[in-house]
């Protein structure tokens, strides 16, 4: 919204520049026009609002995958694996 207000300021200063005859006022209006257009083009977009607190679901109580223990190294591996990725032995 702030970006649009700078665009409106630049339009108003351009209209005033066309309607005035004073050289000093025209110089000030040109400075205002250039500054407001510059700010309107480089002004960053605002960050979106943070997500609501009830958006995230609770973590499940149980694990999603069934695990079994390697008989050689004792580390947990996936139930469907036939070979341990840690020690390369048959599970």
The pair of structure tokens assigned to 84 is 């341990």
Per-residue model confidence as pLDDT tens digits over 26-77: 999 999 999 999 988 888 877 788 877 777 767 666 666 778 888 888 888 8
Domain ranges of the chain: 2-42
Distance CA 61, CA 78 (A): 18
Q: Can you give the pLDDT at residue 32?
A: 93
C-alpha radius of gyration, the chain, whole number: 33
Q: State the DSSP code for 56.
A: S
Distance CA 60, CA 83 (A): 28
- Global pTM reads 0.47
């Amino acid at each position: 919204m702030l970006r649009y207000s700078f665009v409106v300021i630049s339009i108003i200063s351009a209209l005033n520049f066309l309607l005035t005859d004073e050289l000093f006022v025209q110089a000030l209006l040109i400075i205002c026009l250039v500054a407001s257009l510059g700010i309107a083009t480089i002004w960053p977009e605002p960050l979106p609002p943070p997500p609501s607190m009830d958006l995230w679901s609770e973590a499940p109580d149980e694990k999603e995958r069934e695990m079994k223990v390697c008989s050689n190294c004792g580390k947990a591996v996936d139930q469907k694996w036939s070979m341990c990725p840690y020690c390369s032995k048959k599970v």
